[in-house]
Chain A
Amino acid sequence: MSRTASVSPAQGVTNIKVDCLARVEGEGALHVKIKSGRLQHVQLQIYEPPRLFEAFLRGRMAPEAVDITARICGICPIAYQMSAAHAIERAWGVTIHPQVRALRRLFYCGEWIESHALHVFCLHAPDFLGYQDVIEMAAAHKAEVELALRLKKLGNEIVKVLGGREIHPISACVGGFHKVPARREVEALVAELSWGVQAAEAAARLVATFDYPDFNADYEYVSLSHPDEYPLNEGRIVSSKGIDIDAAGYEDTFLEQHVKHSNALHSVVRERDSYHVGPLARYHLNFERLPDAVKSLARELHAEPPVFNPFKSILVRSLELMFACQEALRIIEQYEPPPEPHAEVTPCAGRGMAATEAPRGTLYHRYEIGADGKIVSARIVPPTAQNLKRIEDDLWQYLPQILDKPVDDITWRAEQAIRNYDPCISCATHFLRVYLDSE
C-alpha cells in the first residue's frame, strides 16, 4: 500500500498511483496518467470489498433494516437508520409524533457535528496546512485540534444521549425510538452546545483564511429541500438544474451505472451527466433556510452562494457545523417528551422510498415489503456512490491546471480534490488508491 510515481522521461510518461487513499473512510485508489504534459487517464478505483447488503436484507423483517443498514457505515450510521425508518414508515403509512420528528432532527444534528468536525479538522484541514495528518498538525495547532476534538465529542454526546452509543446507536426504530430521553437529559447538552456554536464560528473563520486553489466547476447540485427548514430528514429532491421530485421519483430521475474499475456504482442524472450531493449542494439549494447568524457569517466571509469551488466545501461544512449546533439548541429548547416513544406499527405489504441528508449528501433507500412484513427487495444509494463520477470529472477538469507542478504536489492536490467530497468508500460499495502515470 503506497503512493508511487513512475516517470519515464524518454517517453514523457508520468504514472501516479496512490494505492490506498488516506483520510477517507473505506478503501479506494487513484490512477492518473500524464503523457507529454497532457492528462490522459483518471480512474478512481473502488476496491472496498462488496458486502451485498441489498441481497441479504431480503427475508429480514422490514424493521430490522434500521439496525442492519447502519452497519454499511460506521461514520454515518444514523443516516442509514433514518432513511430506512422513513422508507418503511412510508410503505406502512405510519405517522410519527411531531416531538419524535424533532428528536430525529436532533439525533441527525449529532451525527453531522461529529462527522463534520472529524472531516474539517482531522481529514481535510491537514491538506490545506501541509500536514500528513491531524496529529502532525496538532504540534503547531494544538488549540485548534483540541477545539475540533471537543466539537466532535459534542456531536457524539448528542448521539449517546439519544442512542446509547456513538457508533451504531441502538434506539432508532420504525415509528420513532425504543426509548426517548427525559427533558433533563437533553437539557444537559445545552451548555456545551452553546460553546459549540461559538467554536463552529471560530472554525469557519479559521478555515476561511486557508489558501484555496482557483478552480470552479459547473455542478448540478442535488439535495433535499424543505420549505421551512434546512434539510435533514424530510423534503423534496431538488437540483440547481430544475429537478423537483418526491423521493418516490428518485429511480426515474437518476441512473446508476456499473463501471468495470469499481465495486461501487456510478450515478448520473438520466440523459444528463454527473451531479454533486453533499454540503455544497445543500448550501446552494437551501441557503435561505439557514439561521440568520450563519447567513450573516457566510456573507462576512464572502462565502454566500453560489459557491462552485469544491475546495471550499471545508468552509461550507464549518458553516453547517454552526447550523447543526444552533438547530440542536433550538430543538432542545422546545422539547417535550412525546407521549409514546414510537408509533405502533402493523407489518403489511407495501413499497416505500425515502431520502435523507447524510453528512456527505443525499441517501436514498427503497424497500418492497411482503404481506408477512419481510423485505422482498431493497435498494440503497449512498451519497458517495452518487458523487464518484463527479469526483472523476473534477479531477479531469482540475488536474490540467497543475500539470507543471512536481509529481508529489500533483499527487497531494489530487488526493485533496477527492477529499473535498469527504468520500465514504465503505458506503459507496456497499472507495480509494491514487495511481498517477505521467508520460
Chain B
Amino acid sequence: MSSNGNRPKIAVFKFASCDGCQLSLLDCEDELLSVVSAVEICYFPEATRNVIKGPYDIALVEGSVTTHHDAQRIQQVRRSAKTLITIGACATAGGIQALRNWQDTAEMVRTVYAKPDFISTLKMSSPIAEHVPVDLELRGCPIQKYQLIELITATLIGRKPNLPAYSVCIECKRKGNLCIAVAQGTPCLGPVTQAGCGALCPAFSRGCYGCFGPMESANPAALTNQMLREGATTDEIQRNFRTYNAWAWQFRQASEEVEKR
C-alpha cells in the first residue's frame, strides 16, 4: 500500500491460525479506506504484494507458535515493532491447535500425514506472550472488528483502549437475553468468559463456548460445580473448557481439575 513517511507504520504477521482475525481488518468495509489513509500498511501479505521494511509502529500478530522457525521469527517481529499487539485466540492463548498440548504430537502428525518425516512441528502450540513481551492483546475467536479499530486508534493517539474486562454475562443481561443457564440448565461459559462478542451465543439459544477466553477475575471452579449440579458430566465440562482458548491458564487449570473429580 502506498508509501508515506509521516503516517504510522503498521505490519500484520501471521503464525499458526485460520487467517480470520486479519481478515477482520478487511471486513471493516465501511472503515477500511479511512483506516488505510490514516496509517501506512507496510506488511500485510494477505492484502498486498508491497513490502516496506521496519521498524514498525504497530505489529499485529495473528496465530500461535507451533514450529522452530516461527519461534525464531517472532523474535524478529518483536525487534521490528514499537508496539506488538496480539490478535485473536491463537495468538493470545495458543488457539484450538493447543489441544495438542495434552496429547502425543508425534502420534497426531502420523495420523494426519502419510510421511510424518516431512513435517516439522513443535510438541506445543503456545501463545505469543510465552515467547516475547506483548504490549496489548485482543481476544476472540475471531476478534471483534470494532475492538480492533478501537485498539489501533487508541494506540496511535496514545490513550488506553476502551475494551471490556467484565464477563459475557454483563453483555447478555444488557441485551435482555433470557439466562439459558438458569432457565434451561444449558452449560454456558458466559460467567467466566471475557465480554466482547455481544453475548451472541445465548442470543442464538446456545451456551457461550468461551471463544473470547477467560475474563481476568474468572472463577471457573465455581462454574464447574454449578455445571455438575445441573447434570453435566466431567467429560462434557472438560470439553467445554478445552476449545479455542484451552491453553489460557484459567481454562487450562479448570479442565485439568475437572479431570481429577
Contacts and interface: CB of A to CB of B under 8 A. Distances in A.
A167 B98 CA distance: 20
| A interface bracket (residues with beta carbon within 8 Å of B) | 35 or more
B16 A49 contact: yes
A307 interface: no
B113 A265 contact: yes
B112 interface: yes
A150 B100 CA distance: 40
A134 B47 contact: yes
Contacts of B96: 51, 53, 56, 68, 71
Nearest to A177: B204
A26 interface: yes
Nearest to B144: A165
Contact of A167 (B1, B27, B111, B209): B27
Contacts of B27: 152, 156, 166-167
A264 B105 CA distance: 17
Contacts of A136: 1-2, 48, 50
A97 interface: no
Nearest to A67: B209
Given A165-B200, A426-B19, A51 B26 contact: no
A23 B22 CA distance: 12
Interface string A137-166: 011000001100110110010000000111
Contact of B18 (A3, A47, A58, A74): A74
Contacts of A259: 118
A1 interface: yes
Interface in A289-328: none
A139 B46 CA distance: 20
B108 interface: yes
Contacts of B200: 164-165, 170
Contact of A415 (B47, B49, B113, B243): B49
B48 A50 contact: no
A22 B48 contact: yes
Contacts of A260: 115, 118
Contacts of A165: 142, 144, 197, 200
Interface string B13-44: 01111111111101101101100100001010
B114 interface: yes
A178 B18 CA distance: 24
Interface residues of B, number: 68
A27 interface: yes
B206 interface: yes
B205 interface: yes
Contacts of B46: 22-25
Given A72-B18, A156-B27, A122 B113 contact: no
Contacts, number: 204
B56 interface: no
A125 interface: no
Contact of A71 (B33, B69, B115, B244): B244
A100 to B, nearest CB: 15
Interface string A253-264: 000111110110
Contacts of A371: none
Nearest to A51: B97
B244 A153 contact: no
Interface string B128-148: 000000000000011011000
Given A51-B97, A132-B1, A170-B200, A56 B108 contact: yes
Contact of A50 (B33, B119, B239): B119
Given A23-B45, A74-B142, 17 more contacts: A3-B51, A22-B50, A27-B45, A47-B69, A49-B16, A50-B66, A56-B97, A74-B21, A132-B50, A135-B47, A135-B48, A136-B2, A164-B203, A178-B201, A258-B114, A258-B118, A415-B49
Interface of A: 1-3, 20-27, 47-56, 58, 60-61, 64, 67-68, 71-75, 77, 118, 122-123, 126, 132-136, 138-139, 145-146, 149-150, 152-153, 156, 164-168, 170-171, 173, 178-179, 256-260, 262-263, 265, 341, 412, 415, 424, 426, 430
10 closest Cβ pairs, A-B complex: A74-B20, A133-B48, A55-B108, A153-B29, A56-B99, A167-B142, A258-B114, A149-B29, A74-B18, A164-B200
